[in-house]
Amino acid sequence: MASSDPRFAVKGASPAQHQAIETLVSQFLLTDERLAVIIKEFRRRMEEGLAADGKVLKMIPSYVTQRPRGDETGSYFALDLGGTNLRVLKVTLDGHGGIKTEHQKFALTEEAKSRTLFDFIAQCVENFLDDRNLRPTGQQPPINIGFTFSYPVQQTSINSGTLVQWTKGLNVPGCVGRDVVRLLQDALLRLGLRVKVAALVNDTVGTLLSAAYKDPSSQMGIIFGTGTNAAYYENVNNLIKWKGPNPSSGEMVLNIEWGAFDSDDFGFLPFTPHDIKLDRKSLNPRKQAYEKMISGMYLGEIARNILLWLADQRLFLDGRSSEILNAMWSIDTSYLSSAAVDDSSELIEVQQIIEKTLNVPNSSLVDRQVFKVVSTLVGERSARLSAVGVVATLLKRAELLDNPINVGIDGSMFEHYPGFESIMAETVSHFLTPEQFKNINFSLAKDGSGVGAAIIAMLVSENQ
């Protein structure tokens, strides 16, 4: 297979190197037949999660039951907590689908990441409001704020929910099992800030709502970034586990938490020894199996495991390594994207990465080709597997594909990884009819997670 696909041909490689590349190609290139089996299982897991709590796909009710009309106006606030940064935003809606944002980014300090997260967040809100003279006085009503929290939370209302587990490298003790809104609200109170957390929002739900403000046909919001996950509008009749009142709209946004797919039995995803090694050494072993094959946080590390496996057989860099290459996480996923698009005859970009960034001198052209092939394989598998969740979710509401729909997507993999979007979309097309596929518009919902939280805070306050 490798020899017939020019992308995986390594000129000048030894028979043993060819053989190793063949092995990798057979592990990482997934046929449509293989994907079809995974899609079927994904659908089954979705149904299971709609019927009961505690399943692999959590299908979490977001309590968001409305759609923005697009003609709303006014300014609203939001907080967006990612794995490395916190953004505080003021979002102004112009009433014609247009959005203006003013925002400030704060890097999470090591102390915040390990201990004082919620006090740190409250402090950032205070700075943002004070810098702009927006802090409400005792006579003014409190500011309603939407809180985007990009971790799995079992929501108990629009503004309460308990943290199920940390993902993506954050690991602040004392938070799992507690209501994250309470934790934040208490920290805001300690600073005497008149700010009310009006909505707790997963980033995928925020992404969907921001897309829906601009385009009412939006049905699904996806993140392909540091982590991966999606949210979509589901008919409440299908949400068998739902015990609350039926919303008048008849629908609710669900947070799938799809990163967890296949984490219970590792039975369907194409695990290689390189994935298993990553999983074992990760902060959350046996969790987020799907996310670990797709998202930006992990792809560099999978590639590093492969390269060391090759080096240990003297098939890469003649068995040499460096302190940097030996260290976990030393290959950033962005190096893979640079390598995958390096078309220079000497693979200059790849040479820089191996020799300067990873500090292993004297790479041969064969080594550089091997690095590029590994990058391409890991990236392509990610994009092909991404299509699994997209297809399963779209087919879950296949009736909607009779009309044009928009899918809002954000995240570094989608925005920056070369070829990711086209491979994902092409793969999706193999599992739908041409008519269905023509109706889907994949659009970038840049920074939609924060904007969407502000929109949800607005919808909540309109209803009060």
Binding site for ligand GLC (CB under 6 A): 150-152, 167-168, 202-204, 223, 225, 227-229, 257, 259, 291
Our CA dihedral for 432, 249, 210, 145, rounded to 10 degrees, sits at: -150
CB of 73 closer than 8 Å to CB of 97: no
Q: Is-catalytic flag, 5? A: no
Query: Nearest distance from residue 50's CB to ligand GLC, in Å?
Result: 18
Query: Nearest distance from residue 130's CB to ligand GLC, in Å?
Result: 29
Closer to ligand GLC at the Cβ: 204 or 376?
204
Phi-psi label, residue 274: left if phi above 0, alpha if psi -120 to 50, beta otherwise: alpha
| Active-site choice (119, 179, 203, 447) | 203
Closer to ligand GLC at the Cβ: 123 or 167?
167
Query: Nearest distance from residue 295's CB to ligand GLC, in Å?
Result: 7
Give Cα separations from 463 to 49, 137, 198, 424, 458 (angstroms).
29, 24, 11, 38, 9
Query: Nearest distance from residue 224's CB to ligand GLC, in Å?
Result: 8
Query: Nearest distance from residue 198's CB to ligand GLC, in Å?
Result: 20
Closer to ligand GLC at the Cβ: 228 or 376?
228
Query: Nearest distance from residue 163's CB to ligand GLC, in Å?
Result: 10
Distance, CA of 426 to CA of 319 (rounded, Å)? 38
Closer to ligand GLC at the Cβ: 226 or 376?
226
Amino acid identity of 64? Answer: V
Closer to ligand GLC at the Cβ: 119 or 203?
203
Query: Nearest distance from residue 364's CB to ligand GLC, in Å?
Result: 38
118-134 b/e (C-beta count within 10 Å ≥ 16 → b): bbbbbbbbbebbeeeee
Q: Is-catalytic flag, 330? A: no
Query: Nearest distance from residue 58's CB to ligand GLC, in Å?
Result: 10
Closer to ligand GLC at the Cβ: 81 or 405?
81
Q: What angle do CA 371, 341, 272 make, to 5 degrees?
A: 45
Closer to ligand GLC at the Cβ: 83 or 418?
83
Query: Nearest distance from residue 139's CB to ligand GLC, in Å?
Result: 38
Query: Per the structure block, which two tokens stand in for 364?
Result: 């041969």
Residue number of the CB closest to ligand GLC reads: 227
Closer to ligand GLC at the Cβ: 224 or 268?
224
Half-sphere exposure of 7 (CA within 13 A, CB side): 15
Closer to ligand GLC at the Cβ: 68 or 448?
448
11-35 b/e (C-beta count within 10 Å ≥ 16 → b): eebeeebbebbeebbebbbbeeeeb
| Active-site choice (62, 67, 150, 412) | 150
Distance, CA of 209 to CA of 221 (rounded, Å)? 8
Q: Is-catalytic flag, 87? A: yes
| Active-site choice (45, 87, 368, 384) | 87
Long-range contacts of 98-101 (CB under 8 A, 24+ apart): 99/210, 99/213, 99/214, 99/451, 101/447, 101/450, 101/451
| Catalytic sites, residue numbers | 87, 150, 203
